[in-house]
Structure 1
């Protein structure tokens, strides 16, 4: 029984018996969970959040131990009134507003990391959806090539029988063999293309080397697009939101640089002993003046302002790129929808009718084999073309979802 099953598996074309691929949503969920690039940005986001607290915290205090000896090298503490042994603590302070500006800058950097993670998730989701659509088109083509080989075998036997009976030339039988060989060549090329797409999905899902993926038997329905999706994309595109956060972070950096023009403060407190002469306490307060501000703080402020302007210019460039992508994707979406309708209503029915008519008239000797082959190729290309149009529509929807910041349902 087991041998018979193995023979059956070998005889039945691969797409018909192989276990189906996971759904696209299952692959998306898997990738967002294990993709190493996503995990890297998750960790960088966690790092940025941890850095927020230190950014708004004062520097560590410094402790100095002090010995004042009036008759050094003799130890005279308790014997000389001027000799003393003590400890001093110094705490560097910050001019009011400096710590809060640094904390806000750290929070702005965290905002950048959050949006970078959201952007990467959306890109991974879109890449999986587009690759899945390409796999669907390839798997349909592989299935149709298998069907075409079966149909061609029937045509080949018919041509050979007609040649043996003297109703047609040997050319028909030779052409049938040639077309079969070309189809086998096409099948091998499709298998190579499929292996490349599976390798891409394996990378996105961080799967082991040569992990198999069954045939994609269909594409899921996708929800209707918002009527104003183009306007939404201009504001919600992940790349735009990341650059907006970069601009905000650069603006916070300018605030920090401006605050550094102000002096820093420090306070000191000390306690010493003079032995039998009694204890000594000291208190102090001072400024760390930005004496070299023309050569240090002001150039740093100017550099921060230039980085802000550069970030603003980059934001405008990103918005222009998003507008271009919206126009291209909109054209691809409309074209795919129109072409699907054309295939369903015209091309597929006409191609099938032409092939059936050619087969029937060939059997009665009214047309030659070349006409049958021509209609056979038209039918095959129509079947494959329809699947490709379906894949193109799904891929266009995936790109629009990317522009809208869709991260596969993950927040």
Structure 2
């Protein structure tokens, strides 16, 4: 029996082994370089950037050629003095300010897609970190479960030995076997969840979904030092989508300016040249003709222009409300992530310095008492299962805390550093 107890204590005290872990910062960098959705967003932004110059450029000039005043009976060029071949070049010039305003509208639209692209980088970073910390928890959960299965294997051998020599009961053997089977069921579920989360993370990195990813045994706890009101305030400067929503407001203001300019006429300048042949009774003896002129449109249909201005005004009001709604949503999300982070931070410290060490001491005391026959096997088993549950809870809240920080980074636009360089394994 002492042999089994020695093995049991050795298994319990051995640290969980890990392989070389993938750097979280390296995975984030890889995702920002390779993620297809992010690349598409970047291309979409550049695509709309290319629309700025065309929007603010003049239309192409028009060149026309015509055979003018040819008599239908002969189609001869020298029969009448008015016959000739006309070349005409014309260029349309919008009223001053229209082209610049059209360029401004296109620029503001490109700024929206730039803000969306920059914000998508924040959201992609959050997704990578969220998946990585879920993977970290599942790795720790699998390791803890395997450790406890090994302990239960020793319990089964121990209870079988005691039953065979008449100092134990069969119920203890069966109970240990049942609990081992339950942990195996839990292990299968955890392993399946790990495969799913790894595939999710691989897809964010644009990798094959079977590419292995390893996590470390311990992670530093990130401490956010900024108070909640400061985070909510600074997000309006740091979160790219705020600038993007402001660009919508500015775009509708530019549309209103353009709608006002539509009350003004546009100009069309043109010049022409007619090549002529000599003809009888021609007072200028076949001299060529040149002409120049200007035409303008008459903006007399005011109803459609009034409606365009009203449409732009409604767009401005809509965009302002969208900005305010987004600000309220971000403020709530920051508040929610902040209070969740505070709760999980407190729980991390509680489990690390209190609950897990106390449960570990209880289990060791029960093990020592069971060795001398002072407690029943069910009490020892209960102490083990509680320690298992608390260790699982500890790594869950630790991962949840870092996921809360990742969400807070994405919502505020800030980057927080891990300032608590401590061993996050529970204290024995």
Q: TM-score, normalized by length of structure 1? A: 0.90
Unpaired runs of 5+ residues, structure 1, are 1-14
Contact residue 271 and residue 281 of structure 1 kept, 8 A: yes
Change (3 A) 1:96 1:377: same
Contact residue 348 and residue 382 of structure 1 kept, 8 A: yes
Contact residue 263 and residue 289 of structure 1 kept, 8 A: yes
Q: Deviations over 1:264-309 (max 9, x none)?
A: 1111111111123111111111112233341x33323322222221
Aligned counterparts of 1:246 and 1:383: Cα–Cα separation in 2: 50
Report the equivalent of 1:347: 355
Q: Deviations over 1:68-107 (max 9, x none)?
A: 1252242232442111211111111100100110111111
SS in 2 for 1:81: coil
Aligned counterparts of 2:328 and 2:88: Cα–Cα separation in 1: 60
- CA shift, 1:322, in A, is 1.2
Change (3 A) 1:345 1:221: closer
Change (3 A) 1:406 1:36: farther
Change (3 A) 1:211 1:73: farther
Q: TM-score, normalized by length of structure 2? A: 0.87
Q: In the alignment, is residue 168 of structure 1 matched against residue 156 of structure 2?
A: no
Q: In the alignment, is residue 119 of structure 1 matched against residue 82 of structure 2?
A: no
Report the equivalent of 2:108: 108
Q: In the alignment, is residue 325 of structure 1 matched against residue 333 of structure 2?
A: yes
Q: In the alignment, is residue 284 of structure 1 matched against residue 296 of structure 2?
A: no
Correspondence list, 1:371-410, <5 A: 371-406=379-414
- CA shift, 1:17, in A, is 6.9
Count of aligned positions = 394
Q: Deviations over 1:164-203 (max 9, x none)?
A: 2222221110011011111110010001111121121112
Superposition misfits of 4+ residues, deviation over 6 angstroms: 15-18
- Computed over aligned residues only, the root mean square deviation of the Cα atoms, in angstroms, reads 2.1
SS in 1 for 2:50: helix
Report the equivalent of 2:34: 34
Unpaired runs of 5+ residues, structure 2, are 1-14, 279-285, 418-428
Change (3 A) 1:371 1:311: same
Q: Which moved more, 1:225-234 or 1:100-109?
A: 225-234
Q: Deviations over 1:296-346 (max 9, x none)?
A: 333233222222211111111111111211221111111011111111221
Q: In the alignment, is residue 146 of structure 1 matched against residue 146 of structure 2?
A: yes
Aligned counterparts of 2:263 and 2:416: Cα–Cα separation in 1: 46
